[in-house]
Structure formats: structure tokens, C-alpha cells
Amino acid sequence: MAGHWIFVFFLLVSTAKVQSSVFDVTSAAYGGKPNSDITQALANAWRDACASTWPAKVVIPQGTYYTRGAILQGPCKAPIDVQVQGNFKAPLDSKYLTKQDSWVGFQYVDRLTLYGGGTFDGQNNCYKNKYCKTTQAVNLRLDFVTNSMIRDITSLDSKNFHINVLGCRNVTFQYVTITAPEDSINTDGIHIGRSFGITIDHTTIGTGDDCISLGDGSQRIIMTNVTCGPGHGISIGSLGKYQSEDPVAGVLVKNCTLTNTQNGLRIKTWPGSPAFGIATHIHFQDIAMVNVGNPIFIDQQYCPYSQCAQIAPSTVQISSVTFANIKGTSATPIAVQLMCSRKLPCQNVGLEDIDITYSGDKGSLTSQCAYVKPQFTRVANPLACATNPFKS
């Protein structure tokens, strides 16, 4: 009988510990209140949750909350959840942010789950005011986060990129919604750099820049069931602007839909690259296009705002790229552009089952290629490099 009561005692202690692992920012311990600034309350709740040796959960309940910034750092002692049910709002004026390049960030955290149906509202209204001073504040920044899940959250009106992923490993984004006006500047949906094993699934993105962009060092990246538009499309790059860039390798984009985007599936590298770079094993498959400008685009002369010398060729080697089962409508007559580097021509590029039509009045459906010898399978002649000075 004594053994039975000892067991019950330890069970009660364990249950109490599990219950105590919930850290609600609105509890008496932290004092956060709806319609107020919870910057300190969130920092304190995170501190205690991160120190817990039991799996812990930080809760932001339903309601509207304000924060000047939250950089939530690990490593933590156990898996940690952040359940955002409410609506987070950033300061309208960027000068009140605690960091000018970040609003909410997670750093050096393993086994993080961020979820809850809540919204991160960056309150960017610069697109309404041409005199507004833009900032580098990212809505959600993940630095060196591993083995984690981001799901069922919304990023709204970020002042810069919505989600920036740097140095992360094995992170999944699922059922994420990202929204910004079509004319908002530099509001990339998800930007990934120097990260491995990132999955983006069942995500809806409409912004004023790339829906998803991959910087150097992005490896084993999977994008499935992504809905993109408006925006600039899904982009690998830009690459080749800086010294010592790491290779981009192993990218799969599958079962995605792009609607009214400025570009479709794009690989972009700068001319005059300061060092040799690599982009390889990139596969686009089962993609639907609806009124998309430049649906299939390799651009090794990428030079926005004339910031570079077009004379020097790109030294990023693009290889092993496939476009398969790409169908829909183009907003421009040149539906396929494969414009590769004259110094390092693209290698092993294949197009299969490409069915894109153009119903506009600015010419006939056509394609343009340079410094590439693609393999074509079931591709109509107008889309099969109608102009290509590099044909043998």
C-alpha cells in the first residue's frame, strides 16, 4: 500500500510539473493585457519557458497585442511551443522598434513549434506614402532554428521581408498565410539562405516581391502546394552578387499555382559575379500558371535598377534544371526565356510537357534562349527556344 501512495505522489508531482509548463503572457505572473504593449511580458514568459526542463508552451491568447520587438533566444532546455492565438501588431513608426532589422525573431532554438491561428501584423503603410522611410524590419526572423514547425499563422503587411530563414535546419512551414499589397517594396514572402532541409507546404503568399526566394547556401528545399500571387513569383536567387556564396543545391517546387505574378519560375544571377557560384539540381514540376509574366525564366543578366555592369558575364554555374508539366497562360508573348551566362553556359537543362498559351495582342507566343542547349520533350516549337544563338 505504501508503494501505491508513493506512486500516486510522484504522479501528482509530475502532473503539476506538466501543468506548470504553460506560460500565458496574460497571467498574473507576467501581466500582459489585450490592447497594450506586452514586450516585457512576452520576454519574461519566454525566459521562464525556455528555462523549463519540461516541454513548455508560451501562450498569447485571443485579442490584440502590441510589441516593440521580441528576439526570443535559445538554446532552451526542452521542446518549446509558442501558441499565438491573438493579433500581434508592430509599431506604425519604425523608430519605436527595439531593433531596426527585426520585429519578432527566434534564435538558436531547437524543437520549436510556432502555431495557433494568430497574426503578425507589421503595420507597413509605406506603400500609401511615397515619402515614407522604409526599414529593414522583418516580421518573423528565424536564425539558426532547428527541427521545428511553423504552422497556421498569418504574416500581414511586413515592413520588409515577411519571414527570413537563415542558418536553419529541418524546419517546416505549413498552412502559413502571407499578405501584403502588390505595390509594397521588398516584401518577399519567405526568404531562405544558408539553410538545409526547409519544407514549405500548403502555404498562400501574395506580396509586392518574390513569394519565395532562395539565397545562397539553400539546400534540400521542398515547396509543395504553394499558392503565389500577386508578387514576383518563385525565385532561386538572386545569386552571385557577393564573394564566398555557398552553392544552391537540391530544390523541388511541385504542385504550385501562380496567378497574376510578374514572373513565374525564375533563377536569377547577377552579371559580373565576384566569385564562382553553383546552382544545381533544381526541379519545377506540376505547376499551374494563370496570367503570369515570364512563366519560365533563367536570367543570368539580372540587374535591377542598373546597379551592375552588364558587360561582365555571370560566373554562377547553373546545371541540372528541369521544368516538367508546366501549364497555363502567359501575360507576355515570351513564355520561355533561358538566358544563360556566356562564360558558364547552363548545363543539363530539360523542359518536358510544357503547355503555355498567350492570348494577348503584343505578338505571337515565342521563346528566347542563349548559351544553353536544352533537352525538349513534348514542347511545342514556339516554346522550344525559337531564338537561340547557341544552337549547334
Output DSSP code: residue 305: G
CA atoms within 13 A on the CB side of 98: 15
| Selected catalytic residue, list 4, 232, 281, 283 | 232
One-letter amino acid identity for 28?
A: A
CB 384 within 8 A of CB 338: no
Assess whether 191 carries a catalytic annotation.
no
Give CA–CA dist 201/102, Å, rounded.
Answer: 24
Q: What kind and span of H or E run contains 48?
A: helix 39-51
Residue reference for cell 532562395: 214
**C-alpha separations of 183 from 126, 132, 262, 379 in Å:** 10, 14, 12, 34
CB 152 within 8 A of CB 117: yes
Residue reference for cell 564562382: 276
CB 231 within 8 A of CB 208: yes
Q: Is 362 left (phi over 0), alpha (psi -120 to 50) or beta?
A: alpha
What's phi and psi for 45, nearest 5 deg? -65, -40
- Pick the closest to residue 298 from 333, 251, 330, 345 (CA basis): 345
CB 126 within 8 A of CB 94: no
Q: What kind and span of H or E run contains 17?
A: helix 2-19
Give CA–CA dist 55/18, Å, rounded.
Answer: 8
One-letter amino acid identity for 232?
A: H
Q: Which residues are catalytic?
A: 232
